Structure 1
Amino acid sequence: MTSPITRRSFLRAGAAAGGAVVATGCAAEVPGESVDTDPMSEVAFISHIGAWQPGIVTPAPRHAIVVAFDTTATDRDRLREMLTALSVEVDLLTSGTPAGPGDPLFPPPDNRITGITPEPDDLTVTVALGASIFDHRFGLAAHAPRQLAAMPMFPNDRSDPGRTHGDLLIQICSQREIVAHHSLRRLMLATRGWLTLRWMQAGFQELNTLGPGRTSTRNLLGFKDGTANLDTHDSPTVHRYIWVSADDDEPEWTVGGTYMVSRIIRNRVEFWDRTPLVTQELIIGRKKESGAPLSSDDEAATPEFDDAGEVTPLSAHIRLANPRTPGSERNLILRRGFNYANGFSTDGQLDQGLLFVCFQRSLSDGFLAVQARLDGEALEEYIRPEGGGFFFVPPGRTVAGEPFAAGLLRTTDLAP
């Protein structure tokens, strides 16, 4: 029989062990590195102690929940308490530590929707800060990431204010959907005195492994997505495009962090399903069945971007998103999105689309540059962004129980 473990004893053990990973039957993630396994065949308890947070270069799983909160904290001490409570609960969830029985006269410490004994499921919890956390409330404005701001309204956006922005964003990823929901409820229970829900979106995907560090999936337009994504197993690539460096014009505490963009992009699927296949392929720039560029039968082949646009139209999505020119090379981003299906809207149309998520070292060189090229593309007729926001993911934690954004707290003379 497994003896119950309290939060206090867990923190003592975690500090002594240096944040060791508990794994079952497979290789576990080295702190700061991605898991070198097929995410579809093996699962693990993934360490949340390392140079950067997991859930970014970690192999993408089948399910995700992205949830934004506003904080009711009114001063920096309460903010620190919230970030510490969140850290403790994340460590319990991701280590496979079973919750104790608790006092039957009080609410149970665990909702038990995944059973009594936690099982490995590639669970990751990624915590990011919104621009509003750096407003007047906490005196953090001077320490904000230089490029962090509220997400603007782009020309094709129809953003709902109730599904946009937030003080704090949490991305929960797992192989089983119920594990993500279990974790969300645990995190909300642990932070109920500091956080209120602002918006959330659940997502899903089916993965095709292209090789170490690279997978593709099909979006709800029926096309393969992720074929030309960054290789997260390539260390120079990861450091060049994802992690903030000491050489960047950024506050010191941000080094090892990354900018995160989340967008809820609704697809007009009924309209798309009535569009001829040849038109769909010209709009995207790839063959629907194989995912190959229009110039090839190989999904992994480099697209042919002829000057006249006779092979790949000048307006094709893949050509605008990544023109593959020397000048556009600096604009590469790590995409880590999911499909979503929210039933249907009051107009009788299916509410389905893309929970777009990307990570980059620089917002201006990354998402904003790509979005500027996509402005007015043919695909806009079939999609409608309705929410999301810009956030900054602080670097990883060095010991269990250390608050998220500990470097920021130290910078502002708040001892973690």
Structure 2
Amino acid sequence: MSGYDRRSFLRGALAAGIAGATVGGMAGAASAAPQDTATPPAPPFHGRHQAGILETPRRRTIMSSFDVVADDKNGLVDLLHTLTDRARVLTAGGTPPQNGVTTPPSDSGILGPSVPSGGLMVTVGVGASLFDDRYGLASRKPSGLTAMPTFPNDDLDPAWCHGDLSLQLSADDDDILLHALRDIARHTRGGMQVRWRMNGFTNPPRPTGTQRNFLGFKDGISNPDVTNAAEMDRLVWASGKAPDPAWTAGGSYLVVRLIRMLVEFWDRVGLSEQEQMFGRSKDTGAPLDGMREQDAPKFHLDPEGRVIPLTSHIRVANPRTPQTDASRILRRGFNYDRGMDEVGNLDVGLIFTCYQQNIARQFEATQKRLIDEPLVDYISPFGGGYFFTLPGVQDSSRTYADFIQV
């Protein structure tokens, strides 16, 4: 049993179920589950970097934050061992062990008798609050990791902010994600509890190219090239050099922003005004001085902003100057739909995530340029947080706990 299975058993919590659900049983399953040929294979779990950062986003995601409730540092280490074990099992797939008819099943069964990996990617991060005085980890804290501040134009709800751990699950099917979340919650009971959770999805290209957000514009066109290793080392990956601790090499700083879109008001705005706010054509995604989505805007030929306004989103977020080149981020966006609010308005928006080497130099520099941009009248950031996405677990002898061991 994992450390948390043992602890929960001794406390008498869910004793029968946890007694039958061992990490080793599923990890040692003899047969692999058949794969859905329409689902792209996930990258290997082991590697220098975690999956879910450079890879093309899956169709579905769960972005969640957890509070660690382990009693002491040994309990935290147990938790991270268990979390690693479950991630290995779930991303590999297989046949769960049979516990017999008198004990709860070892698996929820929502994916059938043989669990497919479903292209699942698991991405784990740590928040600044994990390095408080509970577990003696102050010396291990990444230098740029802080609690996310409230920026002008934010309307942050504390219940939807921050957390000790971040967990992102990505796959093409909702049942794969819910199965993984239930499995992890079951095996880490007593070690961590959900602080907030948001389900998101990507849209198919309409008609081609980058997905659209719920304002109708293509979202995330101008990302750095993830196939360029030198560019990723410059903009995305932590180097492990001072002032960061050495263990951070291969990880990345993650910013999560939960952004509601006030679509009832947006839908009353004229097309020309919408395009002026973004600086792009709504139908093609091209900059207003271009023809195609991937055309680079020619700000230097339009210094007065007569074609692309000086206040437009693309011009303020990424001025494309030598001075701002180092502030570029790797952006990953997922739409969300939570139905209606208490007064009957649509509750839809964006799970904005981005990865970078340095939050202050990259995300915060960009966010400060965006203060009071015209779009702020139609969006309302209400949650999220800063996290450090751990480096990859490089082989079967290692776990997430290796990064925080003193």
TM-score in terms of structure 1 length? 0.87
Question: Within the alignment, does 1:363 sit opposite 2:379 as a pair?
Answer: no
Q: Distance in 2 between matches of 1:103 and 1:239?
A: 50
The separation in 1 between residues aligned to 2:188 and 2:332, in whole angstroms, is 26
2:200 aligned counterpart, secondary structure: strand
Q: How far apart are residue 234 of structure 1 and its match?
A: 1.4
| TM superposition shift of 1:224 | 0.5
Deviations 1:92-134 (A, max 9, x none): 1000122112233222221121222233422101011011000
Secondary structure of 1:367's match? helix
Aligned residues of 2:36 and 2:118 also touching (Cα < 8 A): no
Query: Which amino acid in structure 2 is aligned with residue 340 of structure 1?
Result: Y
The one-character-per-residue Cα deviations of 1:340-373 (angstroms, maximum 9, x if unpaired) are 0001111211110000111111111111111011
Q: Any conservation in 2 of the 1:52–1:396 contact (CA below 8 Å)?
A: yes
CA distance in 1, matches of 2:154, 2:259: 9
| Structure-2 residue corresponding to 1:269 | 263
Where does structure 2 lack aligned partners over 5 or more consecutive residues? 1-20
Contact 1:295/1:311 (8 A) holds in 2: yes
Query: Alignment partner of 2:394: what SS?
Result: coil
- Pairs within 5 Å for 1:29-178: 42-178=39-175
Residue aligned with 1:146, SS: coil
Q: Which amino acid aligns with 1:360?
A: Q
CA contact (8 A) 1:22 1:45 kept: no
Greater displacement, 104-113 / 255-264: 104-113
Residue identity over aligned pairs, in percent, reads: 40
- Alignment-mate amino acid for residue 272 of structure 1: W
Letter in structure 2 aligned against 1:233: T
Distance 1:22 1:297 in 2: 46
**Residue 373 in structure 1 maps to residue 389 in structure 2:** no
Letter in 2 for 1:332: R
Equivalent in the alignment of 1:315: 311
Report the RMSD for the aligned CA atoms in angstroms. 2.3
Q: Distance in 1 between matches of 2:66 and 2:139?
A: 22
Partner AA of 1:396 in structure 2: G
1:36-81 CA-partner distances (Å, limit 9, x unpaired): xxxxx65114311000111101111111001111011121100000
* Residue 331 in structure 1 maps to residue 304 in structure 2: no
AA aligned opposite 1:316: S
User: Corresponding residue for 1:231?
Assistant: 225
Cα deviations by residue, 1:299-339 (Å, 9 ceiling, x for unpaired): 11001221100011000001111110000000011111100
Aligned residues: 384
Which of 382, 398, 404 does residue 402 from structure 1 map onto?
398
- Determine if the alignment matches structure 1 residue 199 to structure 2 residue 199: no
Deviates most, 5-14 or 399-408: 5-14
Match of 1:304 among 298, 306, 312: 298
| Distance in 1, Cα, partners of 2:242 & 2:257 | 26
Q: Secondary structure at the residue paired with 2:196?
A: strand
Amino acid at match of 1:325: T
Output the CA distance in 2 between the equivalents of 1:349 and 1:25: 38
Post-superposition offset of 1:403: 2.3
Superposition deviation, residue 230 in structure 1? 1.8
Partners of 1:131 and 1:150 within 8 A in 2: yes
- Cα distance, 1:13 vs. partner? 9.2
Tell me, in whole angstroms, the C-alpha distance in 2 between the residues paired with 1:402 and 1:22: 25
Specify whether residues 111 and 12 from structure 1 end up closer, same or farther in structure 2 by C-alpha distance, changes over 3 A only: closer
Contact in 2 for aligned 1:22/1:46 (Cα 8 Å)? no
Q: Give the superposition deviation at 1:9.
A: 6.1
Counterparts in 2 of 1:204 and 1:173: CA distance versus 1, 3 Å: same
**Which residue is 1:37 aligned to?**
none
Specify every segment of 5 or more residues in structure 1 that has no aligned partner in the other structure, as ranges: 15-20, 27-40
1:282 alignment counterpart: 276
Letter aligned with residue 190 of structure 1: H
The residue that corresponds to 1:347 in the other structure is: 343
| Contact 1:337–1:357 (CA under 8 A) maintained in structure 2 | yes
Distance 1:106 1:23, change over 3 A: closer
Letter in 2 for 1:318: I
Return closer, same or farther for 1:13/1:233 CA change in 2, 3 Å cut-off: farther
Matched AA of 1:128: G
Partner SS state of residue 122, structure 2: strand
Mapped to 2, the partners of 1:227 and 1:62 lie a distance apart of: 17
Distance 2:81 2:219 in 1: 36
- Distance in 2, matches of 1:174 and 1:225, equals 20
What residue identity is the alignment partner of 1:363?
I
**Paired amino acid for 2:239:** S
